[in-house]
A = this chain, B = another copy of it.
Amino acid sequence: MPFSLPIDVRFSDVDALGHVNHAMFIVYLEHARTRWWAGYLDGRPFSEEGFYIAHVEMDYRKPIHLGDAVQVEVRCVHVGNTSFTLAYRVTRGGDRVVLAEGQTVQVMVDLATGRPRPIRPQTQAWLQSQV
């Protein structure tokens, strides 16, 4: 995958069942996506090319425990007119066993109004390179 980020698992990510809470996986995706997008923005503010999350889904395969080395891999699987879809793999460091897989749909919005807007051609081209 074109982008991968190691996740620094925190004690507070773990719930009463003794493994990372399932909602924290969604936070891990967000964290990886934020870094990936910051790489594209390259210093420009998020408000210039901001998006909302319209859909998220996740399949959980194996638990994550405190002390595990984990990474999130990101790639782009669809680019539409106003939205794009990312796919993620949460993998274990070392053997890269898949711990979870997910997708999110982002809708490009004007953050001032909250209304969708077209993805710029240059951004579309970059997204299409992230496969």
Contact = CB atoms under 8 A, between A and B. Distances in A.
Interface in A51-87: 52-60, 63, 66-67
Chain A contact residues: helix, strand, loop or mixed: mixed
Contact of A14 (B15, B22, B27, B63): B15
Copies in the complex: 4
Nearest to A28: B10
Given A22-B52, A22-B56, 16 more contacts: A8-B8, A10-B34, A11-B31, A12-B21, A12-B30, A12-B31, A14-B15, A14-B16, A16-B18, A17-B52, A22-B26, A22-B53, A38-B67, A54-B60, A56-B57, A56-B60
A30 B26 contact: no
